[in-house]
Amino acid sequence: MKEKTIGQIVTSDMRTATVFKKYGIDFCCGGGKLVSEACEKANIKEAQIFDEIALLDIKEAVIDFDKMELNQLVSYILEKHHGYVKNTMPIISQFANKVAKVHGHSRVETIEIASLFNELSNELEQHILKEERILFPNIIELESRSKDKKVMSFPFGSISNPINMMESEHDYAGYIYEKIEILSDDFTPPDHACNTYRALYHHLKEFRDDLHIHIHLENNILFPKAIELENRINS
């Protein structure tokens, strides 16, 4: 890999675009440089870049989410998925806005894709805030009280009320992403696409895949268990 140019590395594995973007290394117009050259100019240790690229291939152990306690599942979602969304959304937005600006005159769909993703980003920022400040702390408190067999009431009524709102927002996020999938031809870049264009579509697909898992963990495991727990301790 050390003998490959930055552009070649990104072309062979689009996930690496996030690593280069993180360190401000140009992989599009400056893609003809070696990593060593770019790192020397940016005063970054070359090994740091390659170490982060190597981490992309570390496989996660299979986790049985259904057997997790609710506080453990919440912690996992916060670290794995909320963290990913917060870190990745600004990068994808930059890619989308740049591609729309450069290619929008000939590929008008890129303008709408950028607009849709920016809308999604705003929606998810508020959505995550509500989960982290309201819903998740109350689910954890519900689980804690259930161990002491204490009846719990919420200022918003049943725990199902904010859950219903979160599920509705999940549906809207899915609706927006379906439109992006159609506009991008299922994240298929045109033959002439530059590295930024290709990186955008790669990361849009990766973000979609993560969002599917994220929503699955909440809609199909965390939320039903929280509702079941509330019903059990308040019955």
* Range with top average pLDDT, 54-68, 85-99, 145-159, 221-235: 85-99
pLDDT of residue 59: 52
pLDDT of residue 151: 63
Q: What is the mean pLDDT of the chain?
A: 90
The residue extents of the domains of the chain are 6-55, 65-234
More confident residue, 122 or 148: 122
Residue 207 CA to residue 81 CA, distance in Å, equals: 10
Q: In the predicted model, is pLDDT for residue 7 greater than 60?
A: yes
**pLDDT (average), residues 70-92:** 96
**pLDDT (average), residues 78-86:** 96
Q: Of the ranges 14-18, 170-174, 227-231, which one carries the lowest mean pLDDT score? A: 14-18
